Structure 1
Amino acid sequence: MQFFSTNELKDQYDDLVAPLMSYTNDAVLKRYAEDHKCSMEEAERVFTAWKQFAVTAHFMKGRKTVSRTVDDMWHTFLLHSRSYADFCDRYLQGYFLHHEPTSDEKSPENYVSTREFAEGLFAEIDDSIWPKATPGLARCLSGGDCRIDRPTRCRAGS
């Protein structure tokens, strides 16, 4: 796995990371908050984690796997397809970040390597949104009960 040093990321920070991380989309946030029965502040935290994933996916080679919460936000953003396509064009240098489920996408190893890469890129990531590897992680990634891994997450129907 290839990690970028702080200096390499800093070289691209002003051009890519800073503008991307400052991006917001009220329609996406509102839809997520409504669908997942949470506050706008919580939706903003999850959207920040998704943007961290977008940066991670842009720089990391190989398969990437996200937490269920980040994936839920990704699904919400994809519903706003014009905004999503515009985001990718403007903030990911024209790279369209496809969402393609695969047979091994729920692999805890892929998730752990994605999370580690994100930690290497950002000073801090939200452990409640990007849970650390725990015995329940595989069940959480496969769509099961995540409450043991992230007890404060809002979920539809909770």
Structure 2
Amino acid sequence: MTIALERPVSTTDPTTLLDPAVADRLTRRITTDHPEISADLARRIVGQTAAFIATSGQQPGRDLVPSRYVDYGWHAFVLHTVDYAAFCELVAGRFVHHVPTDGGDEVTEATRQSRERTLAAITAAGYTVDRDLWPDLAECSQCHAGCTDSPNGGKKK
């Protein structure tokens, strides 16, 4: 499978995708919602969230999935609807939906493959991957057209 790139392959700090004021708001939201997370870790989560949303928004239907940490960032971002909608339009040209799946906590070969597919896509899109923030996957994805989080629950019609 070939990944079409919108930008040249390079190593880019994904926090550069965000306005610094937005990044600060998201960092504060994460540390408020998750007091066990330091401001430094929250800032790293914000960067990986930006990379994930930008990558998955440009590749609908790929069934890319965030890690638990990135999902914390995604939830924080979605709460800032004006900022989130503007960011999605900027990086993907459309709104990137977040719809939870009904997956369990069990790590399977399929979840490992989803993680690796997601990390490969982020890397191919030119963003730095902070592997420490990807130890597991959350129960959601960007795919909204027949994937696990679609209105039909991923069932083929």
**After TM superposition, is the score higher than 0.5?**
yes
> SS of 2:63's equivalent?
coil
Q: What do the CA deviations read for 1:71-115 (whole angstroms, capped 9, x no partner)?
A: 1110111111122112223x2253101002234698513222111
- Matched residues in 2 for 1:105 and 1:85: separation? 29
Q: Output the CA distance in 2 between the equivalents of 1:59 and 1:93.
A: 5
**Aligned equivalents of 1:4 and 1:105: distance in 2?**
31
TM-score, with structure 1 as normaliser = 0.66
Could you tell me how far apart the structure 1 residues matched to 2:115 and 2:104 are? 8
Greater than 4 Å deviation, 4+ residue runs? 17-20, 103-107
Match of 2:30 in 1: 32
Deviations for 1:108-133, whole angstroms, at most 9, x for unmatched residues?
132221111112223631111123xx
Partner of 2:121: 117
CA RMSD of aligned residues (A): 3.2
Contact 2:45 2:70 (8 Å CA) reproduced: yes
Decide whether aligned partners of structure 1 residues 58 and 123 sit closer, same or farther in structure 2, where only a CA change above 3 A counts: closer
Structure 2: unaligned runs, 5 residues or longer? 140-157
Q: Is the 8 A contact 1:67 1:130 kept in 2?
A: yes
CA distance in 2, matches of 1:120, 1:105: 29
Counterpart of 1:72? 72
Matched length: 129
| Structure 1: runs of 5+ lacking an equivalent | 132-136, 143-158
Task: Tell me the TM-score normalized by structure 2.
Answer: 0.66
Quick one: which amino acid aligns to residue 118 of structure 1? I
1:86 aligned partner? 86
* 8 Å CA contact 1:30, 1:40 repeated in 2: yes
Amino acid at match of 2:31: A
Change (3 A) 1:105 1:119: farther
Aligned partners of 1:42 and 1:19: how far apart in 2?
A: 13
Partners of 1:50 and 1:70 within 8 A in 2: yes
Decide which structure has greater helix share. 1
Q: CA deviation at 1:53?
A: 0.5
